[in-house]
Structure 1
Amino acid sequence: MPIFNQSIRRKIVGIALGLIVLMLVTSILSMVMSSQVGVLLDELTNRYIPAYGDLARANIRSLERAVALRRMVMMKMQSPTDEEAYAARLREFEEADRKIEEEAERARRLINAIIDDPRTPSDNAALARIEIRIDTAVSELRRDQNEDHARLLKQIDAKQMIDARNTLEHIDLLRDQFNQKIDAIRADMLKQVFVSTSQVISHQQKAIIVSGIVTLLAAVVGFVFALLVSSGITRPVRLLLAGTREVEAGRFDKPITVSTQDEIGELAAAFNRMIEQLRHNERIRETFGRYIDPKVVQGLIDRPEVAIDGQRRVMTIMFCDMSGFTSMSEGMTPRGLVKVMNHYFTVMSAPVRSNRGVIDKYIGDAIMAYWGPPFIEGDEPALLAGLAAIEMAEQVPALQKQLPDLLGIRAMPVPCDLRIGIATGEVLTGSIGSELMMSFTVMGDAVNLASRLEAVNKVYGTRILIAQATADAIGERLELREIDRLAVAGQSAPQAIFEVLGRAGALTEAQASLRKHYADGLAAYRACRFAEAGAAFNAALEAVPGDGPSRALLGRIAQFEANPPEAGWDGAWRLEQK
């Protein structure tokens, strides 16, 4: 509808103007009806009732005339005749006679005025008959009584009292007939008064009813009009509110229907454009989330200066590699290899993300991840990295069973396993690359150390090795075993490295015995008590047969027995190869 395409200001002004018009129409109609009632009431008050009163007074004047006539007769019958009193009574008689005609004439004029007034619905035919009857009654009274009055006066002067009495009785008879006619006319006039009164009451009731109906109709029309217009305003607002809640909930697939062309319609159109842009941005974010960790994406969006300027932070770095990958990949088709690697990365990435880690990149079959600010604060990063490593190691048995099914073979040609290295230290975080392409990553000695520790697992036959700083941060919240003091390639100062055995309190008796015997053997080994150290390492192998670190240290002891270390040896082992 055109009205809903107007601006909100015009809608509100239109509602106000519409209500004002309805109020004016109601007021005008009420005034017209009231004026009609006023006309009828004025006619009743100033014409009907006065005309009826004039007729009533005409009756009274006829009685006064009869009384004056008798007094005149009485004055004539006195002896001697009181001429002065007779003259006075004659004047009263004539005055009463004149007033009868005046009252009748006034009544006739009022009745004619009612007939001539076109504004009132009077019974003009009945009123005309009443007017004629008044004129006839007065004319007949005048005609008949004038003769009797003259005869009566002559009879009184001639002292013909019997004849005068008969004439007087005839005059009374004429008077009674006149009064009867006037009474009949008054009765008919009273009916007209009642009719007029009924009309006044009827018109007044109609005016009240019509005013009430019009007022009610105006209220209903105004309410419906206001409801339609207000719904045209509130409905888009409710839709906009619902759309806002959908956006707040992260759902961008429900645009708002634009049903108006006012300011709210423009707002709804702008909201739809915003939703489309948010949907587009969300697709971009989801796409980037497949290549860059979502935490990094969100961090770059929220704090782009971090990516531009770079910062030095203490973080915990993890490198995870699949052992035997090279041999396993040689016998696979490219499609099979991609399928295996995607499944491997999916399984191994889940523990990292569930423990709030950030996956930096996939390098061949290796995973690089890190923990630290601004994603994690305090001393939690090292513990979370250790927990993630434990959970990744727990996935290995299931993964070893799943890979053959993925490839459609009965058994893998080479068994797969994990090697995980974790180190903690200060690194540089920021966007590294060229002007054409950049990557948000971390760099520093801790990154190199974690990578070296991952490879060192091959030397000791372990799965999870962590550096000294990481072990210090973890404390007793995980079960650790010191493996050796080691200087990896690229480092001159050796440091202790530890194996993560499991969660706190989760060691078996065999593992506890292994850790104790290994610690005794390691202390004797560093003190160059190689025989004692060999016995302890063999005891450790009895607790857990095939323990890689014990076998590695026994191998070194055999070398040192043939070629003892130099004097002042610090008990550390140095790797020259990466």
Structure 2
Amino acid sequence: MGLSRRLRTDRGVANGQIARVPAAKSGVMSSLDPPFSVCPALMPLFNQSIRRKIVGIALGLIVLMLVTSILSMVMSSQVGVLLGELSNRYIPAYSHLARANIRSLERALALRRMVMTRMGSPSDEEAYAARLRDFEALDRKFEEEAETARKLINAIIDDPSTYSDNAALARLDVRIEGAVTELRRNLDDGNAKLLKQIEAKDMAEARGTLEQLDALRDAFNQRIDAIRADMLTQVFFSTSQVISRQRQAIIISGIVTVLAAVVGFAFALLVSSGITRPVRLLLAGTREVEAGHFDKTITVSTKDEIGELAAAFNRMIEQLRQNERIRETFGRYIDPKVVQGLIDRPEVAIDGQRRVMTIMFSDMSGFTSMSEGMTPRGLVKVMNHYFTVMSAPIRTHRGVIDKYIGDAIMAYWGPPFIEEDEPALLACFAAIDMADQVPALQKQLPDLLGIRAMPAPCDLRIGIATGEVLTGSIGSELMMSFTVMGDAVNLASRLEAVNKTYGTRILISQATAEAIGTACELREIDRLTVAGQSVPQAIFEVMSKAHGLSVPQETLRARYAEGLAAYRARRFDEARAAFNAALEAVPGDGPSRTLLARIAQFEASPPDEGWDGAWRLEQK
């Protein structure tokens, strides 16, 4: 029962020691809280280079590992000291007390043997002397064991590095000293008396004295047993201290290890987030730039290499924003496709290339008479609106507006801006859409000027030609213009002017008509030799997109084709009848009226015998 109570007491002490660990843990946590709670303290860290950050993380983790290792070593050394005291002092002291008890029993047995040898008859002096020597040797051993136990107990008391119940140990020392001294005093008197009685052969008295010595020995043994029991309590107490310290060392080492891991992870997380966050912002900014958005910049929060990269990125964004503003600004003076093409392929502008392109010239009829009655401000207002309305179809059909010439528009279609098989078709589609805007434009211009009606009617004339041209930058060293030059350009300009002769809106060259095929409804108007050319070619009117003709227009085209064939064969009567039939289908048809006028001229002055049916236009 006493042992079980001692064990419960020891566990209670151990638990008491362990119960103080959380307080130590909270102390460590509170010492680590301030660096994390005070953000300005970490700012110098984030302003370091990436290399220093990584080296700092490594050094911090190494320091935490060293602290953990040193703390574990200190705790382990303390446990080792306690274990050394337990194994080198407590347990040996208890063992010496136990052996002192045994030596006292052996001493009593040696005394009896000595008495029995002396009482024998005849008396054996040599045997008696041997038993006496054994008795005296055991007497010395008894004292040595008791003295050794006392020295070990005093060593425990004198050692300040270990925790022990010094008061209880001091009482044990006093009790051992008192028990041994009292036993020594009583036994010395009793032994001397017993030896005299044995020498006097007084056996009756010797037996009584021997019984008294046995009683003294029993009393001593009882006291030694009590001292051993108390010493065993101290041994258990020391054992509980070792177990408690060992548990405490394990718990504290675990807590410090966990804290080191948490602090290291938090430290690494903070530093890594300081690296990865700007990288993610750079990635997001790059994607914005890739999408063409130049209005967002990156906040520079560090002064490391990534911060410098972010600052450089912001400078690049600003430069791109300025370039975009320049591009948008020049896009109002130079077609954006040309700007982009020159940026992507600057060698095209420098070297020049020959390409097959489709050229368009568009002009406003009646502009001269209309402008005479307008103020400059009103005229600019009308022209800006006119160019806006007419430029939209060109841009929609991927044409490049080369320039505005007075009230005329020059545009072209072709590589590298579009595919090679598309220019003629897109140009004709744009021309049709431009012609469709004329009725609405005629209604908008009076409202735009604030007048009831325009001073002169306005209409649209478009000439389109396809052929090989030279593309490149043309001009002087002071100013260049990316444009196209060649016979197709001249032909398109002449065809635009020829519309006045035939009373048409859209005339195209033979090469353009062949490139279109059946995508548009065409009508051959005439074979014409324009100024600057010697070879006549057929010219065509673009009437509508495919399948867009009305019944009267179909009749007009059929009758006109009959009349044109008769006209070229000099069957002027048949031609006149066909052209009149065409006028009945669509009254006011310009080409029919023009050719009827020519027939009248030829009747008065017939053409030469070698006439090929072509009309030569002498004026530009």
Give CA deviations for 1:327-376 in whole Å, capped at 9, x if unaligned. 22222222222222111111111111111111000011110001112112
1:499 CA displacement = 0.3
Q: Which runs of 5+ in 2 are unaligned?
A: 1-42
Greater Cα offset, 321-330 or 532-541: 321-330
- For residues 328 and 146 of structure 2, the distance between their equivalents in structure 1, rounded to whole angstroms, comes to 109
For residues 303-322 of structure 1, the aligned pairs below 5 Å read 303-322=345-364
Partner of 1:261: 303
Instruction: Name the CA distance, whole Å, in 2 between partners of 1:471 and 1:72.
Output: 153
Matched to 1:227, the amino acid is L
2:609 aligned partner = 567
Query: RMSD over aligned Cα, in angstroms?
Result: 1.3
Q: Distance in 2 between matches of 1:436 and 1:87?
A: 142
Superposition map of 1:4-153 within 5 A: 4-153=46-195
> CA offsets, 1:205-246, max 9 Å, x none?
111111111111111111111111111111111111111111
Q: Distance in 2 between matches of 1:27 and 1:159?
A: 76
- Structure 1 residue 446 displacement after superposition: 1.0
Deviation at 1:99, TM superposition (A): 1.2
Q: Equivalents in 2 of 1:484, 1:390: separation in Å?
A: 20
Question: 1:368 maps to which residue?
Answer: 410
Moved more, 102-111 or 337-346: 337-346
CA drift of 1:377 comes to: 2.9
Q: Distance in 2 between matches of 1:311 and 1:160?
A: 153
Name the residue aligned to 1:329. 371
Match for residue 518 of structure 1 among 555, 560, 584: 560
1:380 Cα deviation from its structure 2 partner: 1.3
Shift in Å, 1:415: 2.3
Equivalent position SS for 2:341: helix
CA distance in 1, matches of 2:447, 2:81: 107
C-alpha distance in structure 2 between counterparts of 1:550 and 1:158, whole Å: 183
Structure 1 match to 2:443? 401
Query: In the alignment, does 2:492 pair up with 1:446?
Result: no
Secondary structure at 1:500 match in 2: strand
How far off is 1:408 after superposition?
2.0
C-alpha separation in 2, matches of 1:106 and 1:552: 148
1:160 is aligned, of 186, 195, 202, to 202
For 1:121 and 1:220, the matched residues in 2 are separated by 33
In the alignment, the residues of structure 2 paired with residue 442 and residue 474 of structure 1 have an alpha-carbon distance, to the nearest angstrom, of 21
1:394 partner amino acid: D
Structure-to-structure mapping, 1:147-546, within 5 angstroms = 147-546=189-588
Between 108-117 and 450-459, the greater mean CA deviation after superposition: 108-117
Structure 1 residues 257-283: Cα deviation after superposition (integer angstroms, max 9, x where no partner): 111111111111111111111111111
The CA deviation at 1:524 is 0.2
- Matches of 1:127 and 1:573 in 2, distance apart? 141
Return the offset for 1:319.
0.3
SS of 2:276's equivalent in the other structure is helix
Distance 2:355 2:120 in 1: 152
Q: Secondary structure at the match of 2:300?
A: coil
Which residue in the other structure is 2:11 paired with? none
What count of residue pairs does the alignment treat as equivalent? Answer: 578
Q: Quote the Cα distance in structure 2 between the aligned partners of 1:221 and 1:568.
A: 106
Whole-angstrom distance in 1 between the partners of 2:80 and 2:484: 99
CA distance, structure 1, for counterparts of residue 135 and residue 441 of structure 2: 144
How far has the Cα of 1:535 moved from its partner?
Answer: 0.7
Q: Unaligned regions of 5+ residues in structure 1, if any?
A: none
Deviates more, 1:82-91 or 1:4-13: 82-91
Counterparts of 2:217 and 2:351, CA distance in 1: 131
Deviation at 1:303, TM superposition (A): 2.1
1:572 CA drift (Å)? 0.9
Deviations 1:148-195 (A, max 9, x none): 111112223333333222211110111011111111111111111111
The secondary structure found in structure 1 opposite 2:214 is helix
Shift of 1:569: 1.4
Tell me how far 1:93 sits from its aligned partner: 1.8
How far apart are residue 431 of structure 1 and its match?
1.4
Provide the secondary structure at the position in 1 that maps to 2:473: strand
Query: What is the CA distance between 1:533 and its match in structure 2?
Result: 0.5
CA distance in 2, matches of 1:124, 1:377: 105
TM-score by length of 2: 0.91
Q: C-alpha distance in 2, partners of 1:408/1:402?
A: 10
Identity of aligned residues (%): 84
